[in-house]
Amino acid sequence: MNIWTVLHVLFVIACIDLRFTECKTKQDSAFDVGVNDAPEFKESKPVRYLLYNVNPGEGFNLRRDVYIRVANLVKLLNDDEPWALVLPPWGRIYHWQTREISQIKLPWSLFFDLESLRRHIPVLEFEEFLAVSEKPVIDEIYYLQRYKEGWTKWEEKMDILECLEKHGYSKGKDGRWHHWFFGYGDDVYANKFECMSYMGHAGFIKPFLMHNISGSRSVMLDRAETLLHDHFGQKRSWEGRRSMVYAKHLRDIGDNFREKYLGSTDKKDKTVLDDWTKMKKKHGDAKGGPYLAIHLRRKDYLYAHGGEIPSIQLVPKKVKSILKKHKLKKVFIATDAPNEEYEYLKQEFGEKVEVYRFKPTPEEHEKYKDGGVAIIDQWICAHARYFIGSYVSTFSFRIQEEREILGFEPEMTFNRLCNDDSDTCEQPSKWTIKY
């Protein structure tokens, strides 16, 4: 980490710590923004840091949903005292199957615009947290787990109890707790570790964080997917989601592809992106590019949800009527299908329909990893005139959210293909945006 990054982080923390109401920072990012509008506190309090982690088996797009839950917990904490969220580095995710490139210790800035995130809450990269810490230590870690008796009835509760499962933490002879810690395990340790059985929304843990760990500056919640949304689909939830603007370098690649192959630009398509805190699009504001986008899950999805998706042979047949209805002649496909299946689809759509997929150059793949390539696919799908997703796919969910933010009509967004035997299956729930 260079000296200018360290100085920037120290400046951000100083802004939070001193309760500045207009503390501006400038970086090479999508927007010229400052630290979020933290409230003024009655007495000076040092900034505290919340870290979190997620079950290693969870995918990229579910982790983005967990971020919203934890970010809005930090938003609640900042109503009473200054907290900053430390972003867990990305890496070793199940669906990132490219083994020949390094995919650990990946910063959030590789995928998202940090200044946009900071419009919602104060955030730091993990390396930035280490840079401003006196020692590479996390004061306390709480591993969130189920209750041994299960969910016999719903009630919000939490208890420090014995650990019920393998968690990967070990206590050394020095009394310190050691772990992989996102690939930084040789350099980072924790002073305290406990298992906490938890049933409740994210905000339910706020009093515990404020009053039960008063002597600690940094606290980590592992298995944070255990925390439920406080107000899923409501204004605060959407604020967290809207702040998750993709990194400009990824949007630029997607925009160049759209313009070159799909005849799509933001100005023509009415999808110009603005400061999310000021942008309030209505349904129908966005027109979208002159193409239909499909997210088509294959591979392991055939075993998990094979009865809910069409065979590769029937995909063109099911889509052609939609192309005709909306007078479209181009199709963009985001898919994990092998190349031979993609070539088959191109052939079956026929010469009158142009079919495209995004293939990164080796240099782009090495630089932006599987996660960056996935975001480029999602960005292109989000700008289509009409979108068709895959059944209960979080990849599709994130595209649908992006289209809500841009202002598309719900009927042009919340769609999926039915299996071979039906054309009238249940369509996705319409989680429309709230301002």
Q: Which helix (H) or strand (E) holds 252?
A: helix 248-262
| Per annotation, catalytic residue among 22, 43, 58, 411 | 58
- Please count the other Cβ atoms lying within 10 Å of the Cβ belonging to residue 17: 16
Please give the Cα distance from 402 to 434 (Å, whole number).
13
Give me the amino acid identity at 309.
I
Question: What is the 8-class DSSP label of residue 30?
Answer: S
Please give the Cα distance from 289 to 269 (Å, whole number).
5
Rg value, the chain, Cα: 23
Compute CA distances 421 → 327, 341, 429, whole Å. 26, 21, 21
Three-class secondary structure assignment of 218-245: EEEEECHHHCECCCCCCHHHHHHHHCCC
Q: Decide if 148 contacts 62 (C-beta within 8 A).
A: no
270: left (phi over 0), alpha (psi -120 to 50) or beta: left
Cβ burial of 160 (10 Å; 0-12, 13-18, 19+) is: exposed
DSSP 115-184: HHHTTTS-EEEHHHHHHHSSSSEEEEEEEEE--TT--SS---EEEEE---S----EE-TTS-EE--GGGT
Token output for 223: 């298995």
Residue 81: active-site member: no
Please give the Cα distance from 130 to 1 (Å, whole number).
10
In this structure, the strands spanning 354-356 and 330-335 are parallel
- Please count the other Cβ atoms lying within 10 Å of the Cβ belonging to residue 24: 11
Torsion of CA 269, 274, 280, 284, to 10 degrees: 0
Q: Decide if 360 contacts 379 (C-beta within 8 A).
A: no
137 bridge partner residues? 189
Please give the Cα distance from 19 to 22 (Å, whole number).
9
The residues that are catalytic are 58
